[in-house]
A and B are shown apart, each in its own frame.
Chain A
Amino acid sequence: MAAVLESLLREEVSVAAVVRWIAHSTRGSEDNPGEAAALSSLRPLRKEFVPFLLNFLREQSSRVLPQGPPTPAKAPGASAALPGRPGGPSRGSRGARSQLFPPTEAASTAAEAPLARRGGRRRGPGPARERGGRGLEEGVSGENLPGAGGRRLRGSGSPSRPSLTLSDPPNLSNLEEFPPVGSVPPGPAGRTKPSRRINPTPVSEERSLSKPKTCFTSPPISCVPSSQPSALDTSPWGLGLPPGCRSLQEEREMLRKERSKQLQQSPTPTCPTPELGSPLPSRAGSLTDEPADPARVSSRQRLELVALVYSSCIAENLVPNLFLELFFVFQLLTARRMVTAKDSDPELSPGVLDSLESPLFQSIHDCVFFAVQVLECHFQVLSNLDKGTLKLLAENERLLCFSPALQGRLRAAYEGSVAKVSLAMPPSAQAVSFQPETDNRANFSSDRAFHTFKKQRDVFYEVLREWEDHHEEPGWDFEKGLGSRIRAMMGQLSAACSHSHFVRLFQKQLLQMCQSPGGAGGTVLGEAPDVLSMLGADKLGRLWRLQERLMAPQSSGGPCPPPTFPGCQGFFRDFILSASSFQFNQHLMDSLSLKIRELNGLALPQHEPSDEDGESDVDWQGERRQFAVVLLSLRLLAKFLGFVAFLPYRGPEPPPTGELQDSILALRSQVPPVLDVRTLLQRGLQARRAVLTVPWLVEFLSFADHVVPLLDYYRDIFILLLRLHRSLVLSQESEGKMCFLNKLLLLAVLGWLFQIPTVPEDLFFLEEGPSDAFEVDTVAPEHGLDAAPVVDQQLLYTCCPYIGELRKLLALWVSGSSGRSGGFMRKITPTTTTGLGAQPSQTSQGLQARLAQAFFHNQPPSLRRTVEFVAERIGSNCVKHIKATLVADLVRQAESLLQEQLVTQGEEGGDPAQLLEILCSQLCPHGAQALALGREFCQRKSPGAVQALLPEETPAAVLSSAENIAVGLATEKACAWLSANITALIRREVKAAVSRTLRAQGPEPAARGERRGCSRACEHHAPLPSHLISEIKDVLSLAVGPRDPDEGVSPEHLEQLLGQLGQTLRCRQFLCPPAEQHLAKCSVELASLLVADQIPILGPPAQYRLERGQARRLLHMLLSLWKEDFQGPVPLQLLLSPRNVGLLADTRPREWDLLLFLLRELVEKGLMGRMEIEACLGSLHQAQWPGDFAEELATLSNLFLAEPPLPEPQLRACELVQPNRGTVLAQS
């Protein structure tokens, strides 16, 4: 490998030839024959060149970049060891395999942890080299040449293997490769390998207030607490987990502890640099960065060449992760100082060009020079970064110093950039709204299921609210706090249908809370706001103090964070884990798959090159937003689908090997994929919709377990993705090809995927270059989604927050430099989220449909959307219209038929089921009208809607065609539904009406019949019924006693009360039937008390009884109320109940005249029939009475009965006659 680099450096071959050689092995013949010859001999090594180069650069830079977040390089195998230089750096076969996912970041949850920990699994087992990069000096083993003892899989042992060597059985007996879990392999010094751990942004609790500025400086190696890396790396899991620690709970606790331990141990910034000696840095920032001077670059030409090769590799997508390389380059650019080489300070001889013997980077100047060289080649990518990054780049004085031209271009790019990326507002939990169409009783199999789901919805939100309140509290634990409640709730979901309802709710809530960029928390980790990117450098001092007070070290995911569930997503992840319900997971996967298919197939607007005026710009805003919403939804759904689908296969165990792996492979290859992602990917590529399909697919795959990439099915997918990756050369832009930012997004997500620990590291480099077939076999539509500018920086950064790490590096650089200007406050602009409008599907068939398609082809996409939208809505409204008119009429008919039936069949009306059948058989045939009515409705309504929604200048012919199509589609939709469902609908509504009517028929006859409202002039000022009941109750309680001697009512009060009662009964505004019933009953009680003279009267002393005349007047008022004002029945028979009549028994002397008066009036007013009263009196005789009372009662009966029924009322006569008779009675 090094030979290639060396021959390059010796200018034996050109950079272009080398790149061609790497990229396209088959086309070597085009090259200069000399070059070809030089390279062809090296052909077997071709595949290893890039990993070699990357590792070489990483190692070369190790003296410069000991501090700060080092760049991981997932470049397998090829070590940068130089042939013929036995003492050269040797890392064993895993040379530069770095730890991609530091436990710090990965430890957030147990679910993620296994993934992350596995990242360390394949790494070399040796304890990490102490920070500070002694790399060059460490290697001792000369035997340890590349490939010599390494895993053949990625070594040079089988470079010509035509395909992926995945089937190559791993050597289980090799303890180095497969160390026992938990053991510390006795790695010789030469086998240790550099650990390029991504460190959290260095903030540590250990920093005391007196030396806050040391944080970003590079500590000398000696002061690094060596415990940290070794503590982490002794276990091949990257975490010092004790064996046997398996339970989720335990693991979580462990992880939490581990994380805090690591944060405390975070070595980088903690130590002041003794080297620098005394003046402990003051806050002003003391550590001087080594200035970089273009004039002092040591081997310019060599650096230029390497930079060119490196840049070309990046440009050709020969490196796995574009942004990782940029991150590395930024690190070089912002390197603070060179660590003084200790052992052998090599004589810097500027002339040395011919070999790699001398270090590539001999000084900061070299590093910066190299970095700027590379950046110059990638200006296009840089110029597409967000505005904040551009500003920092443009302001970087090193860049200005080394390449004023590049700086100028960047400044111009910054000034022209509109790519402000904003942190979205944190979303507030908004509940999924209740939709009767899907959520009402009719959608459930039973009442019980309906009510269970009702409760579940409430429990779900209760849990969600509790999580919102508590999840940020230290010590709060999801499982402990909510687990049992969630499982209890899941336990109630017995019916399969309930599961699907709940899953729908769950999924909708998930989309609602997390689909917006803000839902992801806006940062990599979500939980801790990314303060660094929000605050400028001049704010940092304050920030540190604040952080120290909060004791919450800043953490950051680095350029390759593991898949996480930031923000609200954590709730849903934990919910799934806590629920641990097989049924729920299955339903969830079904539902997620369905939704993914639906969204992935959505007819998103396609770019129209012709439409370039200002108007279309407005359209594009909307369309871009729609695309972003769809894409983010898809990514979210796919992430959860991946999470749930691969959940059963993931665990803390190491990936299986050997026979075990074979058997697992054999088994797993039988299992059909949860969603046919391969087909979806193939179709997406064919239809040039990769920009939509690939990002969600990547999310899905990021949760795959270790076995997945080994399965044929998924291997095909990875190969497709690799080919796609290679084909996305950013510099190749042409009409109809993919847009730049679209490519950038795909490169970013794919690059990220290739760094996921479960993806075999050799996959990337072993795969052949893009097959030509890849380009050709796309029978693409003229303008696929890929060619449309659907991705903007906001979306790019939302999908790939790790790109923001670039800016953080630059910001750190600014913050570490005293006196440097800087500091920018990012404005937080809320982003609006849009709901996904229901997208219609094409239902038309046949010629007309084809014509319609053709019609739309040459029209703006908004026309099609409008027509489809109108058709969809009108069709749906049509169904509702039919429901409200035809069906409602039929229901009314049913009700009247039912009434007739009830009249003829008597009170009970017969069996309800039978009644229903009769009614339905009469009414359902009328449903046939529905289709005609529906057609008419669509014809009437659609054209107007289309007209209103289309621009006015739409040509008449286009408009009428659009109208016709809308009418047709709407009619089709409506009629399809109606013809299938109208009978069932009528049945259902009639059934509801029948049960309603029968219920109304029931025990409360008062509810029946029309009730009069109050008169039109009524102003509703009458006393409230509740007030009256309460007042009358007070009178009753006074009358019944016990009462204080001074308690009583005045006759005026009683009169007033009855007057008010009249008002209330006449104003029906506030009166409800139960209140009226009670008022009626109370009025009867009151009458009885009046008759029995039991009401204690307040007044001039001694007058303790109501005057006869007054009593009679009050009774008259009551009679009139009963007659005129009560609309419900009045229980007048209570007047003759034994209890009320018995009240008379207590009065001495007994006075019967009022009762007799009352009875006569009742008959006279037609309130009670004579017979009825006779019956009541008759039954009174049966009660037990004191002897004399029974006699008097009998006399009363006789008196009443003796009177001939009066043909007409003779009130006056009664009033005159009765007192006497009463007296007689009383005296008898």
Chain B
Amino acid sequence: MILTKAQYEEIAQCLVSVPPTRQSLRKLKQRFPSQSQATLLSIFSQEYQKHIKRTHAKHHTSEAIESYYQRYLNGVVKNGAAPVLLDLANEVDYAPSLMARLILERFLQEHEETAPSKSVINSMLRDPSQIPDGVLANQVYQCIVNDCCYGPLVDCIKHAIGHEHEVLLRDLLLEKNLSFLDEDQLRAKGYDKTPDFILQVPVVMLCPLAVEGHIIHWIESKASFGDECSHHAYLHDQFWSYWNRFGPGLVIYWYGFIQELDCNRERGILLKACFPTNIVTLCHSLA
């Protein structure tokens, strides 16, 4: 699903200040029925994360935390079964899972002698049963299962999606008889930067616009939508680093990307939204 910048911006426009809930996603799907759900979710998630990154700091001032905590306490005193924390998060336009973490941290600070370690907090978020306070446990759990952009469950889903697409890509490579080294093998050999796959014998991807086609040494699978922000970050942290070490390569954004970002083809970074079909290997064409 390759979108033009304009198409992408139209979608992004609809996502301003939308809470990351099931309901929001449903509405989005109705609004853009022609786009794939996965693409929409990916864009939604990225837009929301950008939004959170921008506003993160203001929720982390001690005044803000204190006021949230007091509101939480007041809320649960009135009705422990009501979605106090979730409503609070939505009201102040913050991710429910992150709000849960904030309140949990604050709660533990109050009830424990020492400040809670990050791993303790993470573990409690993964399994709210460990939270000493039953009401808070339920509130936290509610936040986590209702957040479609943050939280351990979402993280796991994202991780799983990434893994699945790597497996998919590996199968495609095997199917095409292209021998490769995967990340684990590369790491074992001591490579400092490891794309998902390095082709042991490079291939050429033909495209109508480039007469000679593009050489591909490595392939990186990205189970997300390639928007400007994430693409630039990936370029800086990964793609150029791969290019610096292994030469030109291919990035597959399985959920699509903004067309205009595919501007480094000549330099040696090629974007696709699926596995390329028109590949030429050293000895024969797979067409």
| A residues in contact (CB < 8 Å) with B | 430-431, 433-434, 436, 439-442, 450-451, 453-454, 457-458, 460-462, 465, 1020, 1024-1026, 1029-1030, 1033-1034, 1036-1038, 1040-1042, 1044, 1069-1070, 1072, 1074-1075, 1077-1078, 1081-1082, 1131, 1134, 1137-1140, 1142, 1146, 1183-1184
Contacts and interface: CB of A to CB of B under 8 A. Distances in A.
B247 A1075 contact: no
B36 interface: no
Given A1033-B153, A1042-B86, A431 B244 contact: yes
Contact of B159 (A442, A451, A1034, A1075): A1075
Classify the interface of chain A: helix, strand, loop or mixed: helix
22 contacts: A433-B245, A440-B191, A441-B192, A457-B192, A457-B245, A458-B241, A465-B267, A1024-B164, A1025-B160, A1026-B157, A1026-B161, A1033-B153, A1037-B145, A1041-B83, A1042-B146, A1069-B167, A1070-B167, A1072-B163, A1075-B156, A1081-B126, A1134-B127, A1139-B131
B22 A433 contact: no
Given A461-B243, A1033-B145, A1139-B141, A454 B192 contact: yes
Given A430-B247, A1139-B129, A458 B240 contact: yes
A1078 B159 CA distance: 11
Given A451-B192, A1070-B167, 16 more contacts: A431-B243, A431-B247, A454-B241, A457-B244, A1020-B171, A1026-B157, A1026-B158, A1026-B160, A1040-B138, A1044-B23, A1070-B160, A1070-B168, A1072-B163, A1075-B159, A1078-B153, A1131-B127
A440 B127 CA distance: 39
Contacts of A1070: 160, 163-164, 167-168
B266 to A, nearest CB: 8
Interface of B: 22-23, 81, 83, 86, 126-129, 131, 134, 137-138, 141-142, 145-146, 152-153, 156-161, 163-164, 167-168, 171, 189-193, 236, 240-241, 243-247, 267
Contacts of A441: 190, 192
Nearest to B215: A430
Contact of A1042 (B83, B128, B243, B244): B83
Contacts of A442: 190
B84 to A, nearest CB: 11
B128 A433 contact: no
Contacts of B156: 1029, 1074-1075, 1077-1078
Contact of B192 (A439, A1041, A1134, A1142): A439
Contact of B244 (A458, A1036, A1069, A1075): A458
Contact of A440 (B128, B159, B189, B246): B189
B134 A1183 contact: yes
A1029 B153 contact: yes
A664 to B, nearest CB: 43
Contacts of B137: 1139
A1074 B154 CA distance: 12
B213 to A, nearest CB: 15
Nearest to A451: B192
A1158 B243 CA distance: 56
B140 to A, nearest CB: 10
B247 A1184 contact: no
Given A430-B247, A458-B241, A1139-B137, A1029 B129 contact: no
B254 to A, nearest CB: 12
Nearest to B194: A434
A437 to B, nearest CB: 9
Contacts of A1146: 81
Contacts of A1042: 83, 86, 146
Contacts of B81: 1146
Given A436-B191, A454-B193, A1081 B127 contact: yes
A1142 B134 contact: yes
A1075 B160 contact: yes
B216 to A, nearest CB: 14
A139 B193 CA distance: 72
Nearest to B21: A1037
Given A1074-B156, A1075-B159, A1140 B240 contact: no
A1088 B146 CA distance: 18
Ranked nearest first, the 6 interchain pairs of A and B with the lowest CB-CB distance are: A440-B190, A434-B245, A1137-B129, A1026-B160, A1075-B160, A1037-B145
A431 B245 contact: yes
Contacts of A1033: 145, 153, 157
A1030 B157 contact: yes
Contacts of B160: 1024-1026, 1029, 1070, 1072, 1074-1075, 1078
Given A1026-B161, A1040-B142, A1070-B167, A1138 B193 contact: no
Contacts of B164: 1024-1026, 1070
B247 A1040 contact: no
A461 B134 CA distance: 54
A1139 B86 contact: no
Contacts of A1025: 160, 164
Contacts of A1075: 156, 159-160, 163
A459 to B, nearest CB: 10
Contacts of A431: 243-247
A626 to B, nearest CB: 24
Contacts of A1137: 129
A1070 to B, nearest CB: 4
B153 to A, nearest CB: 5
A1033 to B, nearest CB: 5
A453 B152 CA distance: 34
A1038 B145 CA distance: 9
Nearest to A1185: B134
Contacts of A460: 244
A1140 B247 contact: no
A436 to B, nearest CB: 5
B245 A1139 contact: no
Nearest to A509: B244
A738 to B, nearest CB: 41
Nearest to B25: A1034
Contacts of B128: 1139
A1024 B165 CA distance: 10
Contacts of B245: 431, 433-434, 457
A271 to B, nearest CB: 45
A1037 B127 contact: no
Nearest to B147: A1037
A434 B242 CA distance: 9
Nearest to B188: A992
Contacts of B145: 1033, 1036-1037, 1040
A1019 B137 CA distance: 41
B20 to A, nearest CB: 11
Contacts of A1034: 22
A1029 B157 contact: yes
A462 B153 CA distance: 37
A1020 B161 CA distance: 15
Given A431-B244, A1034-B22, A1139-B129, A1072 B141 contact: no
A1133 to B, nearest CB: 9
Contacts of A1036: 145
A2 to B, nearest CB: 64
Given A430-B247, A431-B245, A1072-B163, A462 B190 contact: no
Nearest to B139: A1040
B114 to A, nearest CB: 21
Contact of B138 (A454, A1078, A1139): A1139
Given A1030-B157, A1074-B160, A1134-B129, A436 B189 contact: yes
A645 to B, nearest CB: 29
A1065 to B, nearest CB: 13
Contacts of B168: 1070
Given A1030-B157, A1183-B134, A1037 B243 contact: no
Contacts of B236: 462
Contacts of A1030: 157
